[in-house]
Chains A and B, each alone.
Chain A
Amino acid sequence: MSLQRFIQHALSEWMKGKGPQSDIVISSRVRIARNLSGLPFPMLATSSQSAEVVRRVEKALHQAKKHPVLGDAELIRMDDLNELQKRVLVEKHLISPQLAEESRHGAVILSKNEAVSIMINEEDHLRIQCLFPGFQPDDAWRLADQLDDWFEEHLSYAFNEECGFLTSCPTNVGTGIRASVMVHLPALAMTQQLNRLFPAITQVGLAVRGIYGEGSEALGNLYQVSNQVTLGQREDEIIDKLQGVVMQMIEHEQNARRRLRETSPIQLEDRIHRSYGILSHARFISTKEAMERLSDVRLGVDMGLLNNVSASVMNELMVMTQPGFLQQFAGQRLDPEERDIRRAVLIRERLSTEGNPEESGKTR
């Protein structure tokens, strides 16, 4: 039953769109990689050793009954999920494709509001993740830090003084921390400034990647900025640096939006309303086009140019129009053409209940 909750309930906490700077920053995530001492890393672990990892973590979790976050968390085994259910968890950013597809005895602990997901037997024994809406990497770090302390009280971690926390991949060693922020940069994209911005970000040691898109493109102008270095810096230094750089990105995007509004207000409004028109009337729409149009409409909402849609609907649609979710929604496997039709239906229905107060009908 609880499983159904995570699969069918579309909105995770991070999608609700009510965080600081949520007109530009979609979500903030901190992930901490940890391994248990005395057991090989998942890549070389035997099946019984991997099962032992889950057993130890589950035993620890049993002692968390009164914990404010872990108390009502649920441990879900990958072997108990079908392909579609796993895909939905991936699209909600709660588990990685690697855990879904390649892990042995893979499992995930999910908190009730889905802000915390702890992957077991992914690349490392434990991946503690906190995912918050808007721009709050420091809060995400604080919670991840507390959860890490809690687990460390109940489990023995692989650690040595020189290298810090020992991880399967040398790029995670030391703090094991990866902090990332998901940003929506439509105005910088429209004004072709990303070409200058991204090299500047990589210069200071952060990485940027497009989020959605199979293969080659960054769809929907959504990017993830994250730290690269995990060894030799303290966690708070890593978080501070990421925060400082993202703050500057936010400022650049705000400036670009202001300039767009000043220099080409009609073109901007036209583009936003045109995209809104297409989304609310199309009978057939691909992921690529949907993501582009949703990006435009979201920009319109965030700039106050469109008032009959909310930002959270945009976050929700971004996730719900992905293939796995659509199929879950439809209750069956769909071929790509059927998906494009279903996607158009879903978007139309969602926008029409938003747009017309009479139809939502709750107030009277």
Chain B
Amino acid sequence: MLCQECGKRPATLHYTKIINGEKTEFHLCEVCAQEKGEQMPGAEGGFSIHHLLSGLLNFDSHPQAGGQEQTGVKQETLRCPTCGLTYSQFSKIGRFGCSDCYQAFRERLGPLFRRVHGHTAHRGKVPQRTGGQLKIQREIERLKSELNQRVANEEFEEAARLRDRIRALREKLES
């Protein structure tokens, strides 16, 4: 398959990006990907493209040329108090400076996460040692879906056992 950008070299990067809520496919050669500053997930190993997210990040801050000045001012005021990174710097380099940037840029991140991941909230693992409460909540959610499954399969004994465990965990949460 040839690169969709130059039409000359073979495409070696294949991925999708969500733009305007639409899935868009990209098939690029390394050279064009590098020129476009494309963010390529999974680039570790092999050789890494030094990628910039700017196009993706700036997307809704510059809807049209006319709106630029206004949004520019607004961006400047958004600054992480811990590391000093501003939102506009973040959107140029595509990297957060520290973990507090997530709180500082919070209002802007929802749309960005939705474009990159299609979701905005974490559903995976939580820290074992420090994530106590949250871990219990996740465990309850997991047991609840297992419970529904058991009920659907008419495995009532197992379901009753699960119900007791959920109750015990709920009590633990409230205490």
B42 touches A207 (CB 8 A): yes
Please report which residues of chain A, range 157-211, place their CB below 8 angstroms from some CB of chain B when the two chains form the complex: 157-171, 173-175, 177-178, 180, 194-195, 198-199, 201-203, 205, 207-211
Residue of A nearest to B25 (CB): A202
User: Does B94 touch A at the CB level, under 8 Å?
Assistant: yes
Interface residue from B14, B119, B128 paired with A229 (Cβ < 8 Å):
B119
A153 touches B128 (CB 8 A): yes
User: Does B85 touch A at the CB level, under 8 Å?
Assistant: yes
User: Does A232 touch B at the CB level, under 8 Å?
Assistant: yes
Please report which residues of chain B, range 100-120, place their CB below 8 angstroms from some CB of chain A when the two chains form the complex: 102-103, 109, 112-113, 116-120
Residues of chain B within 8 A of A194, CB atoms compared? 1
Residue of A nearest to B32 (CB): A216
Q: Tell me how far the C-beta of A163 lies from the nearest C-beta in chain B, rounded to whole angstroms.
A: 5
Known: A158-B99, A218-B12. Contact between A198 and B45, CB under 8 A? no
Interface residues on A, range: 35 or more
B130 touches A156 (CB 8 A): yes
Interface string of A213-253 (1 = CB under 8 A from B): 11111100000101111111111000000000000000000
User: Does B16 touch A at the CB level, under 8 Å?
Assistant: yes
- CA separation between A215 and B125, bound complex, in Å? 37
Residues of chain A within 8 A of B16, CB atoms compared? 202-203, 205, 207, 228
Besides A167-B96, A207-B15, 9 other CB < 8 A contacts?
A35-B99, A37-B99, A129-B44, A164-B126, A166-B99, A169-B96, A177-B124, A229-B116, A229-B117
Which of A's residues lie within 8 Å of B, judged by CB?
29, 31, 35, 37, 39-41, 43-44, 93, 96-98, 123, 127, 129, 145, 148-149, 152-153, 156-171, 173-175, 177-178, 180, 194-195, 198-199, 201-203, 205, 207-218, 224, 226-235
Between A and B, 6 residue pairs with Cβ closer than 8 Å are A152-B128, A163-B102, A164-B126, A175-B122, A216-B12, A217-B10
